[in-house]
Amino acid sequence: MLIAEGGGTNSGITQHDPVTGTQVNAQVGTVQFAAGKASSSTVDITVRGARSGSEGTGVVLSPDGYVLTNNHVIGSGGEITVTLPDGTTRTASVVGTSPSYDLAVIKLNGASGLTPAELGKSSTLAVGQSVVAIGSPLGLEGTVTSGIVSALNRTVDVQGENGQPVIYNGIQTDASINSGNSGGPLVNLDGQVIGINTSIVSNSKASGNIGLGFAIPIDTASRVANELINGGVATKPQLGVTGTNGQSGAATISSVVPGSAADKAGLKAGETIVKVGNRAVSSFSDLVAQISSNVPASKINLTVADSAGGNQRQVEVTLGSEQDKAAETPDDSLFQQQNPYTSPDGGMQGER
């Protein structure tokens, strides 16, 4: 017997409504509110090919079914099936991809009346701010986890589709992100999407979440998504240099592409790029990430030094613009070491 019987009287278990009501009616600025608001605009994406497939998450951008996700979720090809928040499914087709940013937009077939996500501004984020991640880890649709912004402008090197390197300045969070979360929203407590969950750090002892997740800032993702929806192709900024890590940090220029933005600004092979704007450059990968976070054709200021880091000078550069049809490929030697970053899409073994 689990519950003792009362002597002669009808005793039983009673339940009570919450005193404050917050368990029933979510208040703005709580995890519950953010989860409820953003979940209505979050979908599960399943891709099945002849031999394999993947599962990830997406963010609804429009009532008629444009959805933002990661390129590595849909990049392998196959039939795309999207499960909506109400449990109904739609097939979808690819509108366009941005390999350098690991982003893609798909369009649901026959969709209408969907709830678009409210997009925030990643430029207003602060370290320590509470955030919520929503996705389909291990196929568990609509899973909500919470945490904080652990760091901003974290340089992330991740292997994208077909082994292409993808480098970006990410939002670091300790909100749990696992296989199947890729392409899902990272939101603030107002329920606004401030990032697209894309990669995690794992190690040889643990393949899942260890509290180190990364999201592509929505300021970049929204620009790319708009370009894909409007023209099917995204653009990326171009500096026009190859290089290596400097001996004491920074990025050393190995060569300058003739006619590029760097060439027009007078940058030379052997020089070192120390800062982009007011932010120090810690490596060549960091330089690529910082450049990629800018809008094509925008003006930036670089602090350039000689090979020893001396004789610093300020250089204004008007970035070039090119179509994003292939991932950034700076000096290949940078990517020969084992990369701890992985993309948390849920791989599925197909039938033969």
Q: How does DSSP assign 187-219, residue by residue?
A: E-TTS-EEEEEEEEE-BTTBSS--S-EEEEEHH
- pTM recorded for the entire structure: 0.83
Out of 2.30.180.10, 3.90.1580.10, 2.30.42.10, 2.60.40.1120, which CATH number does the structure's domain 236-335 have?
Answer: 2.30.42.10
- pLDDT (0 to 100) of residue 326: 54
Q: How far apart are the first and last CA of the chain?
A: 52
Q: Which residue has the tokens 């497939």?
A: 53
4 has a pLDDT exceeding 60: no
User: What whole-number distance in Å separates Cα of residue 157 and Cα of residue 151?
Assistant: 16
Which among 39, 41, 54, 72 is annotated as catalytic?
72
User: What whole-number distance in Å separates Cα of residue 190 and Cα of residue 170?
Assistant: 21
CATH 2.40.10.10 residue window(s) in the chain? 37-108, 122-234
**72 has catalytic annotation:** yes
User: What whole-number distance in Å separates Cα of residue 286 and Cα of residue 281?
Assistant: 6
Which residue, among 231, 230, 293, has the nearest Cα to 62 in the 3D structure? 230
* Helix or strand run (H / E) with residue 56: strand 52-60
Confidence of residue 200 (pLDDT cuts 50, 70, 90): confident
Which amino acid is located at 31 in the chain?
A: V
- pLDDT (0 to 100) of residue 12: 73
Confidence of residue 186 (pLDDT cuts 50, 70, 90): very high
Average pLDDT score over the chain:
84
- pLDDT (0 to 100) of residue 37: 95
177 has a pLDDT exceeding 50: yes
Lowest-pLDDT choice from 18-32, 111-125, 160-174, 218-232: 18-32
Confidence of residue 183 (pLDDT cuts 50, 70, 90): very high
Reported as half-sphere exposure (CB side, CA atoms, 13 A), residue 159 has a value of 12
Structure tokens at 86: 């109400």
Residue 24: how many CB atoms within 10 A of its CB?
9
User: What whole-number distance in Å separates Cα of residue 82 and Cα of residue 43?
Assistant: 7
- pLDDT (0 to 100) of residue 336: 26
CATH 2.30.42.10 residue window(s) in the chain? 236-335
Is 150 or 347 the better-scoring residue by pLDDT?
A: 150
Please check whether residue 92 is in contact with residue 110, taking contact to mean a CB–CB distance below 8 angstroms. no
User: What whole-number distance in Å separates Cα of residue 310 and Cα of residue 247?
Assistant: 13
Angle CA(310)–CA(314)–CA(319) in degrees, nearest 5? 125
**102 has catalytic annotation:** yes
For the CA atoms of 349, 340, 150, 289, the dihedral, rounded to the nearest 10 degrees, stands at: -100
187 has a pLDDT exceeding 90: yes
Please check whether residue 265 is in contact with residue 238, taking contact to mean a CB–CB distance below 8 angstroms. no
Structure tokens at 293: 């976070």
Which among 41, 54, 76, 102 is annotated as catalytic?
102
Please check whether residue 197 is in contact with residue 57, taking contact to mean a CB–CB distance below 8 angstroms. yes
Which residue, among 267, 313, 342, 292, has the nearest Cα to 98 in the 3D structure? 292
Place domain 122-234 in its CATH homologous superfamily: Trypsin-like serine proteases (2.40.10.10)
Q: What percent of the chain has pLDDT over 70?
A: 82
Confidence of residue 19 (pLDDT cuts 50, 70, 90): low
332 has a pLDDT exceeding 50: no
- pLDDT (0 to 100) of residue 51: 74
> What is the per-residue pLDDT across 224-281, written as a single tens digit (0 to 9) for each?
999 999 999 999 999 999 999 987 789 999 999 999 999 999 999 999 999 999 999 9
Structure tokens at 261: 């933005």
Q: What value does the mean pLDDT take over residues 139-157?
A: 90
Query: Distance between alpha carbon 151 and the CA centroid of its chain, in Å?
Result: 14
DSSP state of 292: H
5 has a pLDDT exceeding 80: no
340 has a pLDDT exceeding 70: no
> CATH code for 37-108?
2.40.10.10
Which among 54, 150, 176, 182 is annotated as catalytic?
182
- pLDDT (0 to 100) of residue 53: 79
**16 has catalytic annotation:** no
